[in-house]
Chains A and B, each alone.
Chain A
Amino acid sequence: MNKAHPFTKLYYFLVLIVLLTLVRPATSARGQASTPSDDEVNQIASQLYCPICDNQPLDVCPLEACRAWRELIREQLAEGWTEGEIKAYFVAQYGERVLGEPPPSGLNWVLYLVPPLVILGGLVLLLSKMKRPPRPATGLEPDAEGRYLQRVERDLENLE
């Protein structure tokens, strides 16, 4: 598993600090009274992925940088940002990889169209390969072979 280069981490961290400084003045302008709880922060962080680790949700990532990102979410929530705005901010900053579920656009449609098509296609294929159920008896006696087969099936059932 490849780890991000230390300088890359440092770079992201520095970018984050700069951003935090830039965002702060706006905070007081929009300002809200209560501090959002850890649960409120995690509710959004759990839907985001650490931008510098592999497949690590932001709410459980132990990195210092992720801790700072969680604090950023807390501040954004305190300022009254919506969940959508916060996610959009992270996407704008770090790319689509921070989203746990890729947005249905462009090539990503493959992810949303293939599963139902596979299930439907499989169902059609399966049904086309199977014999239709025999029609209910029309009053005629089953022929000798049919009676024999029925008996064999009954015997098999009993054997079990």
Chain B
Amino acid sequence: MLSIVGFFTLALAFLLAAYGLLAVIFGLVQKTPAWIESARLALLMIFPLVTVSVAALLILLAGQRFELAYVYSVTSLEMPLYLRLTALWGGQSGSLLFWSWLMAGFSLFFALHKWSRDADLLPWALLVVFFTLGFFLMINVFFEIPFERFWHFPDGSRVVSLLQPRGAWLLTPQDGQGLNPLLRHPGMIWHPPALYLGFTGFIIPFALAISTLAAGRNDRRWLEIARPWILIGWVFLSLGLVLGMRWAYDILGWGGYWGWDPVEIAALLPWLSGTALLHTNLLQARRDGFKRWNVVLVLLTFVLVIFGTFITRSGVISSVHAFAGSEIGSPMFIFTALLSLGSLGLLVYRWQDLQAGYEPAFGFNKETLMLFTNLILLSILVICFLGVIYPIISELITDTQITVGPAWYKRTAGPLFILLVLLVGVCPLAVWSGTNLARLSKRLRIVLPISLLVPLFVWLAGGVRHGVVLVSLWLVGFSILVMAADYIQQVLVALHKNQGNFWLALGAPVRRNRRRYGGVLVHLGIILMSIGIIGIEGLQQETQVTLSVGESVELSGVTFRFEALEHHEEEARWITEAVLSMSRAGEPVGALYPQREIYPNMGLAVTQPGLQGNLAVDLYAVLIDWRPISQDEATFRIFYNPLVSWLWVGSAMLTLGVVVALMPESARRKLERAAKSEVISG
């Protein structure tokens, strides 16, 4: 019964989306506001309906109703409640329903926003939302139905169907297959929701951009409305990527967090264009320029979201043949093509109307630096896109399957990432418009010599001789010092104004300009994250050895001693755990417990690396193999991963930055900003 309720509400939501689409088209053709209002009310109903459907599936997952094919495939009796609930996004059909639910939630914005100033945008925005949301609901209603049940016939044959086939009985398995153990890690539990929030959140800027184009407007109103949503989408996308990295680091057991896998890159692509958008959005807000560029980036970001969803869910990444066998491959391909071509067509049609009449002047100023940042981000985007798409092209044209792996990405995109760090560093030294070389040289005189101490220290104290690492760490040190110098100067000014109240002055710059210092914190987060990346890319050490109990191996000054190998059974899994004690110069520094878990019911084995880390270094060991009979010999892969923790610290800083940037401003500051933008555009 609950499964029927779940499906019925989902089908009703789909019908409402289809009705809404037709009503908007009719309203636009007939110029009848009543039809648009009717469509708006239909949109208002979709979210509650999909919520009921999601709630029904959650109850079925929690209640271990294994007669449902989806519940059977992603849960089992031994799974705790929280894992059964998060299995909502553990499989294809459930995760698509979850995706539709989040998108329906964001779409509520269009039904609830006060459109009095922008009534001409609403119909087109509704058109985009109904088209996109309707498509995903359609996939859930016709192709990937999470409410299908098992049925069996008297002759022993079985089918999966939503409704009871004639002459069939409901089949209820005793236990389910259970969620893939690889997906039971906190990183993987929260990675999909964060990523999906980021993906679906971009529906708001996308629909606003399309509606601005379609309504023939060329003002920056759409961007003002979209700005917080771009930031929200971007920060969730960033968090989703970082959680995915943490999962890969903790679970996959190859000592790294980013494998340049096409699925990872599919999520990175919209992040790159979204990051570029965050910068040019600022330029349009200040200079009323870059109108075309902002529209291009918003459309590109959402098209890349849909493209990523298409390539990861249709099987096209594995092989062209897998795509042909996928049920949702063709509809997703058609939808992606329609969305991309429709966006492109509209953009070309309105291109001339988006003339900004503002030309940035080349020089050492923020405009130039932001445009160079955009160039680098988009070059990385093209490289990543090429890397993902090329194996498919190669298979189609030459029938040769090829792999584009990390070595190619590092060679082509690696130097561009280093340039990005440099740009983040020098940006606070630049002014808006013109070139203020006096200011630049004044700052450089102090910051540059101090920053050179960073590579010198790493050379002398850390013994690092890797040229790229030294240059990268110097850039990192330089960037942090520039930001610090800028902040200290602002604090000194505030200190002067506040007659010496240090604590008040310390927070004054952030209080005065939350947007700006939110941005500074985000940049600081990116710089801290790059420390982690430099550490693992340039300084990682590893070795693979077979040790007998009592034997030890040394790696980067740390001695790893194999103490014992233990076996135990726990919740339908057999666990083999090794104990590696560690010492540095004879002093004990802790122990690692790498494990191999075997899930006999699922025929799967999962590696759990042993990990102990601090801000300086992570010590990381993987249990590769052991002798089943004597059990006194085992093979380990041991990694010495310097600085990697900064990746997680940086991501927290980045999130904090976005929160600061989104905090409401004081009335005074708002007035100042309004006056400023009037001066500029006037």
Q: Are A127 and B362 in contact (CB under 8 A)?
A: yes
Minimal beta-carbon separation of B402 from chain A (angstroms)? 5
Contact partner of A110 (CB less than 8 A), chosen from B261, B359, B390, B680, is B390
**Given known contacts A42-B544, A57-B405, A129 and B261 CB-to-CB distance under 8 angstroms:** no
Chain A residues within 8 Å of B637, by CB: 38, 42
A55 to B398, CA, bound (A): 20
A111 to B386, CA, bound (A): 7
Q: Are B361 and A133 in contact (CB under 8 A)?
A: yes
Q: Are B407 and A100 in contact (CB under 8 A)?
A: yes
Which of A125-160 touch B at CB < 8 Å?
126-127, 129-134, 152-153, 156-157, 159-160
Closest A residue to B253 using CB positions: A60
A111 to B398, CA, bound (A): 15
Q: Are B402 and A108 in contact (CB under 8 A)?
A: yes
- Interface: B552 (CB within 8 A): no
Q: Are A38 and B317 in contact (CB under 8 A)?
A: no
Which of A25-81 touch B at CB < 8 Å?
37-39, 42, 47, 49, 54-55, 57, 59-60, 62
Chain A residues within 8 Å of B390, by CB: 110-111
- Interface: B566 (CB within 8 A): no
Contact partner of B318 (CB less than 8 A), chosen from A54, A60, A100, is A54
A55 to B248, CA, bound (A): 14
**Given known contacts A55-B403, A115-B382, A39 and B544 CB-to-CB distance under 8 angstroms:** yes
A108 to B542, CA, bound (A): 32
A122 to B75, CA, bound (A): 50
Q: Are B404 and A131 in contact (CB under 8 A)?
A: no
A59 to B433, CA, bound (A): 52
Q: Are A100 and B403 in contact (CB under 8 A)?
A: yes
A100 to B318, CA, bound (A): 15
Minimal beta-carbon separation of B484 from chain A (angstroms)? 17
- Interface: A9 (CB within 8 A): no
Interface 0/1 of B367-410, CB less than 8 Å to A: 01001100100110011001100100110011011111111100
Interface 0/1 of B238-261, CB less than 8 Å to A: 000000000000001110000101
A159 to B432, CA, bound (A): 12
- Interface: A22 (CB within 8 A): no
Q: Are A100 and B317 in contact (CB under 8 A)?
A: no
Closest B residue to A149 using CB positions: B433
Taking A153-B434, A157-B431 as given, write out 6 further A-B residue pairs in contact, using a Cβ cutoff of 8 Å, ordered by the A residue number. Answer: A42-B637, A59-B254, A100-B404, A102-B402, A110-B390, A119-B379
Minimal beta-carbon separation of B438 from chain A (angstroms)? 12
Which of B362, B398, B513, B546: most chain A CB closer than 10 A? B362
A132 to B679, CA, bound (A): 24
Chain A residues within 8 Å of B435, by CB: 133
Minimal beta-carbon separation of B328 from chain A (angstroms)? 14
A111 to B393, CA, bound (A): 11
Q: Are B405 and A133 in contact (CB under 8 A)?
A: no
A37 to B404, CA, bound (A): 27
Q: Are A55 and B259 in contact (CB under 8 A)?
A: yes
A153 to B431, CA, bound (A): 9
Which of B418-454 touch A at CB < 8 Å?
431-435
Q: Are B372 and A126 in contact (CB under 8 A)?
A: yes
A159 to B637, CA, bound (A): 56
Chain B residues within 8 Å of A153, by CB: 431-434
**Given known contacts A99-B402, A100-B407, A152-B679, A130 and B359 CB-to-CB distance under 8 angstroms:** yes
**Given known contacts A55-B262, A95-B401, A130 and B406 CB-to-CB distance under 8 angstroms:** no
A29 to B364, CA, bound (A): 67
Q: Are A122 and B379 in contact (CB under 8 A)?
A: yes
- Interface: A118 (CB within 8 A): yes
A122 to B407, CA, bound (A): 24
Q: Are A131 and B362 in contact (CB under 8 A)?
A: yes
Which of B261, B397, B398, B412: most chain A CB closer than 10 A? B412
Chain A residues within 8 Å of B315, by CB: 1-2
Which of A90-128 touch B at CB < 8 Å?
95-102, 106-108, 110-111, 114-115, 118-119, 122-123, 126-127
Minimal beta-carbon separation of A27 from chain B (angstroms)? 22
- Interface: B319 (CB within 8 A): yes
Q: Are B386 and A49 in contact (CB under 8 A)?
A: no
A96 to B391, CA, bound (A): 11
Contact partner of A96 (CB less than 8 A), chosen from B252, B382, B386, B401, is B401
A54 to B401, CA, bound (A): 11
Q: Are B360 and A115 in contact (CB under 8 A)?
A: no
**Given known contacts A55-B261, A115-B379, A153-B433, A107 and B363 CB-to-CB distance under 8 angstroms:** no
A100 to B391, CA, bound (A): 12
Which of B338-373 touch A at CB < 8 Å?
359-363, 368, 371-372
Minimal beta-carbon separation of B432 from chain A (angstroms)? 6
Contact partner of B363 (CB less than 8 A), chosen from A54, A97, A115, A133, is A133
Closest A residue to B367 using CB positions: A130
Q: Are B254 and A54 in contact (CB under 8 A)?
A: no
- 4 closest A-B pairs by beta carbon, nearest first, are A100-B405, A38-B544, A2-B322, A130-B362
Chain A residues within 8 Å of B583, by CB: none
Q: Are B386 and A134 in contact (CB under 8 A)?
A: no
- Interface: B155 (CB within 8 A): no
Q: Are A131 and B545 in contact (CB under 8 A)?
A: no
A106 to B400, CA, bound (A): 12
Closest B residue to A103 using CB positions: B402
Q: Are A160 and B516 in contact (CB under 8 A)?
A: yes
Closest A residue to B432 using CB positions: A156
Closest B residue to A96 using CB positions: B402
A95 to B544, CA, bound (A): 28
Contact partner of B375 (CB less than 8 A), chosen from A100, A102, A126, A132, is A126
A100 to B262, CA, bound (A): 13
Interface 0/1 of B104-134, CB less than 8 Å to A: 0000000000000000000000000000000
A108 to B382, CA, bound (A): 16
Chain A residues within 8 Å of B375, by CB: 119, 122-123, 126
Contact partner of A99 (CB less than 8 A), chosen from B393, B398, B403, B545, is B403
Interface 0/1 of B540-573, CB less than 8 Å to A: 0011111000000000000000000000000000
Q: Are B433 and A60 in contact (CB under 8 A)?
A: no
- Interface: B605 (CB within 8 A): yes
Contact partner of A160 (CB less than 8 A), chosen from B386, B513, B605, is B513
Chain A residues within 8 Å of B587, by CB: none
Interface 0/1 of B599-641, CB less than 8 Å to A: 0000001010000000000000000000000000001010000
Chain A residues within 8 Å of B542, by CB: 39
**Given known contacts A96-B401, A107-B394, A115 and B412 CB-to-CB distance under 8 angstroms:** yes
Minimal beta-carbon separation of A54 from chain B (angstroms)? 5
A132 to B605, CA, bound (A): 62
